[in-house]
Amino acid sequence: MRRTRKVLPPAVPETFVERPEVLARLSEIWARPLTTVVAGPGFGKSTVLAAWARGDHVAWYAVDADDSAPARLLAGVAHALAPLMPGVESVVADVRPRPHGPDAEDAERAASFASRLAEVAQERLRRPTALVLDDAQGLRPGSPSARLVEELCRQAPPGLHIVLSSRDEPPFLVSRMRGQGLLVEIGADALALRVDDTRALLTQVVGPEGAALAEAVRKVTGGWAAAVRMAAEALAAEGTGDPGDILARLSRPGGVLFAYLVDEVLAACPPRVRRLLSHAAALDRVTGPLCEELGLAHASEDLAALARRGMFIEPPVGADDWYALTGLAREAITAALPLSRPRRRDLRRRAAAWCLARGHLEDGLRALRAADDPAALRTLLVERGPDLIAAGAASSVLQAVRGLPRDARRAVDELEGEALLVRGEWDTALACLERAATEVETLPPGLAWRIGLVHYLRGRTDAALVAFDRGRLDSPDRVAVAHLLAWHATARWRISDLAVGRHLADRALQVAAAAGDDSAMASAHTVLAMLASTEDDMAACDAHNWAGLAAAERVSDTLAVVRLLGNMGSHANDEGRHSDGLELLERAVRLADISGYSAFRVVALNNRGDAFRGLGRLEEAVADYAASWQICAQLGLRKACYPLSGLGEVHRLRGDDTLARSSFEEAAALAREAGDLHGLVPALAGLARTLARSDPRTARAAVQELTGGAAGQAPPSLLAAGWVALADGDAAGAARLADSAAASARRRRARVQLAEALELNALAAPLPDVTLARLHDAEAVWRDIGDPVGTLRTQLAAATLRGAHDAAHDARHRLRALGVDAGMVAAAGPAPVAAATPAAVEVRVLGPFQVRRQGEVVPLAAWRSRKARDLLRILVAKRGRPVPRDELIEALWPEEDPERTGQRLSVALSTLRRVLDPDRRSDADRFVRTADQAVSLDLAQVVVDAERFLVDVTAGLVAIDSDRAAAARLLAAADRAYAGDAFEDSPYEPWAGPLRDEVRAAHIALLRCLAIEASQTDRIDAATRYCLRLLERDRYDEDAHLLLVATHVAAGRHGEARRHYQQYHELMTDLGVEPAAFPRPALRSA
């Protein structure tokens, strides 16, 4: 009977909570020969494994003291395997007990037992089989039985998977197996109950009302399964009591959880570990060397062991080996193993000194704050406060400042302002800084540059310059002087006052070098790199960037690192190294997120959007531009001109000229207001190129403003002027401008602008052969830098010119797949793309309103009447239904006398018919019908893109269940034809609403269907693009968020999955909606 019990898994409680993430980890067992499940008592190791083993090909054996003899252990394991591996018990007969020698011989025999068992398994196994050895802490390291298990793990044939479940680490070394990828390790962190798991258990034990207590119970217990279950049972037993009081009693001395932790777990720890825990409870977090400095021998190995077992210590985050006690453990240890108050204060002071001496500034600050020594805390903040903020500890600095006595806070007003500045709390920061600057004409340099920086980041360059000018350059604080000079130079760079900026930056570097301060050196190198780039000295730019980054990293100056990475990523984008730029900018965004540098997160996100755009990943670019713009809107930053220009470029590529114009015009207005000439250039250049054909007068005005400014000879300005000249028919002028732009781009190593200059030069060439040759050159550069839009655009232009219809069709199709409007492939406007059998009349209302006759666009001048255009729009919106004349009159001339407007409708109708059929080749009613005092559009004669779109979407959605591949192709084609919302240039007209809403809903359904289809067919990048486009439509679309996260998880992009899930979580919280759990990958069968 005893042996039978040992080969049966324990019963799974009725209240067991199924946890997909744990089952997913356990499913990895089938991919490796050895799995260790290591956690302290009460973590539910046996229960979780028993639940996993149900229905699978799993053998179970519970190890106990009797198994110290290897022959007995072998017999037990064979008995467990027998039902799954017929004939395995023959191994026992081969190794019947006999007299034997000392342990050394036993170890050899144990190894031979294992070898024989592995041999039989190799012969008899017919399907993957797992062997769970539960309670394996009974295997003493170095014992013969441990040797048997070790050899079995190392010699196990394919298909046999060993699982060791234990309170302790394996009784033999596994580092090599780990290095070879032969080991799955599941620890306490994986077994701990998450909030959702706790909620599910409480609901089962306590009832529906228990769900609301999940977060509180999880916080008290740290997810320790035994503690969660005890809490649930206590809450159920005392159902009428206050849940908060019940939980507090459980974790206080005398409570069930407290008693279990102290009496059963803490009491079992060796004295050395108990002393370590009593000291660790007095500090926020500890590391082995710190504890050893405090006189705790072997602390490093003890902490690591405690963390692996999940007892008391939370696993370290990252690779720095810092550990913290769980909340419940800290309370229990503090009560059970108390330190005297003087001992505790001394311990914290010593810990603070150790941390500060080794550069762990934030840990030192926290320890000193806990030591309750205001004088020492004030001294630390005064002396090291800026270093703490530079290291990303702004929040901890603010907590420390606010904990000082009121009379001590005056000395740290400036520091508090700087910390608030980092947090993006501009108004409060400025108030603190100006409070420190009251009643003085000139300012200490540190105060001056911080006040100036607030104004600079908000786009108030004039106010920033006033503040910088107030700073004392003769101050003995030479580090602050260097920072002041560097930021003053940066402001001069923004307004293109380059001579003064260069002088200030050179002085900044000299002062920083003399002071020997790396943070100041990083500041000076940053602005020198920016100036060198503006002066086309890219070698100097690179040198300053790398020197600045090295200096910033030496002192962990996060602010400087984020700035430099953002700038270096931008230069990489300009040079066409978008993948390199993306890598730099991913790091910049991550650091900005962690440290709270909101203003510089704006730049990093915008530049990452540029990298995505250069890689043809337009949806991801839009997501970054939108996030960057949103931060600007929240903080009131005029840097919004940059992400707005980025959004304008994407809209232009998509053919959404109305949205592009709006974005560029808003960007230009913000840049002018801020005096930011660097932000004005992309806004005006984008505006000029967008309007080159449709509104040449405004385009020429934008070019004039560009070329008349300080950046008039920069490649973006020259290219914009060239495209406008080409649209005006001045090919020779366009060619000259292209040549100048190419020369400047070569000096700057700006290969993106070089490729565009070559493309412009090609299209301005007088002869087709010359155009083709130059297009080939442009394509080569686009291809080399990996820009798919530029590559396909030049291919399409060349194929069209050659009359290669198949090649043109392929290029057009691939552009549309990227989300680019193939009708707008030339940078200045529509390319000369041949259309097959164009419709007599085609009306496009998706995106900008446009009418075509025989494939040719009807120019604006041909209408002569805005009301005639509006009449056509209304008839399209009514979808072929007859519209009473009175209704048309009210829509076109609201609140005017019908007696006077009736004739106007007749004139507008006559004008519309003349525009649609200027040569009168057809009957008057062919396109627009009139009957019974009503007017309608004949949809059999007029092709309307919105109608065609709705038909295609409906057909695709209907076919998705019967022919998924064909339906996906149809829906993808409809998506490529979707140029924007219906009547986007008439957003407030009530007649436009119904069709716009229907088309929009159809497009959302289309995108959702394509996203799901792409995800199910493992086309991860396509699924990601469709999800991001859904979120462009509705940032609160929960299904799109969760599908996006699940797609990233399935692709192994866990960082992206977490980032998007966090955004989703915040949005749902804003709405007051409970977020769904983090999507988990599907459990794979063995």
Is 1066's pLDDT higher than 50?
yes
- Measure the CA angle with vertex 619, ends 616 and 625; round to 5°: 100
Q: What is the pLDDT of residue 599?
A: 78
Length of the chain: 1086
What's the average model confidence in pLDDT over 143-153? 86
428-469 pLDDT, tens digit per residue, is 888 888 887 776 678 889 889 888 988 887 778 888 999 999
What band does 1081 get if pLDDT is binned at 50, 70 and 90? Answer: very low
Q: In a 3-state reduction of DSSP, which class is residue 183?
A: strand
Is 292's pLDDT higher than 90?
yes
Per-residue HEC secondary structure of 711-766 comes to CCCCHHHHHHHHHHHHHCCCHHHHHHHHHHHHHHHHHHCCHHHHHHHHHHHHHCCC
Q: In a 3-state reduction of DSSP, which class is residue 313?
A: strand
Q: What is the pLDDT of residue 760?
A: 94
Domains and CATH numbers, the chain: 2-191 (3.40.50.300), 716-824 (1.25.40), 841-944 (1.10.10.10), 947-1071 (1.25.40.10)
835-868 pLDDT, tens digit per residue, is 334 678 889 988 888 888 877 888 887 888 888 8
What's the average model confidence in pLDDT over 110-131? 79
Beta-sheet pairing, 850-853 with 883-884? unpaired
874-914 pLDDT, tens digit per residue, is 999 998 899 898 888 888 888 777 677 777 888 888 888 88
What's the average model confidence in pLDDT over 402-414? 78
What's the average model confidence in pLDDT over 786-793? 91
What band does 826 get if pLDDT is binned at 50, 70 and 90? Answer: very low
Highest-confidence segment of 524-528, 926-930, 967-971 = 524-528
What's the average model confidence in pLDDT over 41-49? 86
Give the rounded percent of residues in the chain with a pLDDT score beyond 90: 29
What band does 314 get if pLDDT is binned at 50, 70 and 90? Answer: low
What's the average model confidence in pLDDT over 189-199? 89
Q: What is the pLDDT of residue 97?
A: 43
Give the Cα separation of 749 and 576 in Å (integer). 9
Q: What is the pLDDT of residue 837?
A: 46
DSSP per-residue string spanning 63-91: --GGGGSHHHHHHHHHHHHTTTSTTTTHH
Structural contact between residues 755 and 576, judged by C-beta atoms closer than 8 angstroms:
yes
Beta-sheet pairing, 129-134 with 160-166? parallel
What band does 479 get if pLDDT is binned at 50, 70 and 90? Answer: very high
What band does 407 get if pLDDT is binned at 50, 70 and 90? Answer: confident
What's the average model confidence in pLDDT over 193-222? 85
884 Cβ neighbours under 8 A, 6+ residues apart: 933, 934
What band does 90 get if pLDDT is binned at 50, 70 and 90? Answer: confident
12-24 pLDDT, tens digit per residue, is 877 788 888 888 8
What's the average model confidence in pLDDT over 777-799? 90
**Which DSSP state fits 927?**
T
Q: In a 3-state reduction of DSSP, which class is residue 930?
A: strand
Q: What is the pLDDT of residue 835?
A: 36
What are residue 630's DSSP bridge partners? none
Q: How many helices (H) and strands (E) does the chain have?
A: 54, 15
Give the Cα separation of 498 and 531 in Å (integer). 7
What's the average model confidence in pLDDT over 102-112? 57
What's the average model confidence in pLDDT over 126-135? 91
pTM over 0.85: no
Structural contact between residues 761 and 776, judged by C-beta atoms closer than 8 angstroms:
no
Give the Cα separation of 909 and 929 in Å (integer). 10
Structural contact between residues 621 and 820, judged by C-beta atoms closer than 8 angstroms:
no
Of 242 and 148, the structure prediction assigns the larger pLDDT to 148
Give the rounded percent of residues in the chain with a pLDDT score beyond 70: 88
Q: What is the pLDDT of residue 805?
A: 76
Q: What is the pLDDT of residue 1086?
A: 33
**Alpha-carbon radius of gyration of the chain:** 36
Highest-confidence segment of 89-98, 587-596, 752-761 = 752-761
Is 259's pLDDT higher than 80?
no
Is 204's pLDDT higher than 90?
no
Per-residue HEC secondary structure of 817-868 comes to HCCCCHHHCECCECCCCCCCCCCCEEEECECCCEEEECCEECCHHHCCCHHH
Is 781's pLDDT higher than 80?
yes
272-283 pLDDT, tens digit per residue, is 999 999 999 999
538-583 pLDDT, tens digit per residue, is 899 999 999 999 999 998 888 899 999 999 999 999 999 999 999 9
What is the pLDDT of the chain when averaged over all its residues?
83
